[in-house]
Amino acid sequence: MSDITTNRPQAAGAGAAEFAPAKVNLFLHVTGRREDGYHLLDSLAVFAGVGDELTASPAEALTLEIDGPEGGALVAEPDNLVLRAARLLAESHGVSHGAALRLTKRLPVASGIGGGSADAAAALRLLARQWRLPLPPEAAVARLGADVPVCVASRAARMGGIGEELAPAPRFPAYGLLLANPRIPLSTPAVFRARAPGFTPPAELPASWSSARAMAEDLRRCTNDLEAPARELCPAVTEVLSAIASRKDCLLARMSGSGATCFGLFPDPAMAQAAAESLPSAWWRWGGAPAEG
């Protein structure tokens, strides 16, 4: 049995905590489509130094409280991915006790940076550690969502299949990352439905990059195949991309995932942070180092 409430305070320092970093798709090629309708992808995912936080305290039942600056968007959601992940872990090992979970939501909802998947992955890591259990099988984790497996590791990876097939990423140089969202949610299924017919071959990437500029030059030859339909559904994406591209020292501006969050690559984290601070305050924005850096 589980329930969800929102915006109820909890004593600071209660239980263990786990960081749920934002996932950023540096490119996203739609390479084909399976018979069941799911699209096949090729993408390079990295993780940002910004994210949600999940805490857990021992309890008899599984419960979830939500707070944080972006928590209001989840008020009406009856079955948060965090609870689904917690139930999956408990059922996989026959666990009868629960946990009092608290999600501090800092990432915008339905924004193309894997917030819900990152939260679910954080729940699996946190409760597996607290209950001293192994994680569920990868196939079971993938049923929570195609992005959940990469978020469990929260390390840069090449994504294939429908997102669940993971391979090592190239070695990254030092770089800065900027994220910006116009605070307009975008439905992933709607973006895929609006996509023009046709597919893009997988990208060819080197084993490593010598500099952020070299990385941006290679990534510029890739695309996000969901960017054009997202712009049609949400014209503000074009505005955000233009604003990021116009910032001093921006090496590449592109949309992440199915949007509407867009990113910019910069030579170093300080430049990315300064650029983010110069964007409109009405937007959600962040700049700094990737989680790996």
Which are the catalytic amino acids? 23, 147
Is 108 known to sit in a ligand binding site? yes
Is 121 known to sit in a ligand binding site? no
Contact (Cβ atoms closer than 8 angstroms) between residue 191 and residue 259: yes
Is 191 known to sit in a ligand binding site? no
Q: CB neighbours (10 Å) of residue 202?
A: 14
For tokens 């800065």, the residue is 176
For tokens 């021992």, the residue is 58
Contact (Cβ atoms closer than 8 angstroms) between residue 71 and residue 105: yes
Is 141 known to sit in a ligand binding site? no
Is 72 known to sit in a ligand binding site? no
Is 118 known to sit in a ligand binding site? yes
Residues 6+ positions from 132 with CB-CB distance below 8 Å: none
Is 113 known to sit in a ligand binding site? yes
Cα 145 from Cα 121, distance rounded (Å):
10
Contact (Cβ atoms closer than 8 angstroms) between residue 123 and residue 85: yes
Cα 262 from Cα 179, distance rounded (Å):
6
Q: Per DSSP, what are the bridge partners of residue 180?
A: 262, 285
Is 21 known to sit in a ligand binding site? no
Is 24 known to sit in a ligand binding site? no
Residues 6+ positions from 243 with CB-CB distance below 8 Å: 180, 279, 280
Pick out the residues of the known binding site. Answer: 108-118
User: Which residues belong to the annotated binding site for ATP?
Assistant: 108-118
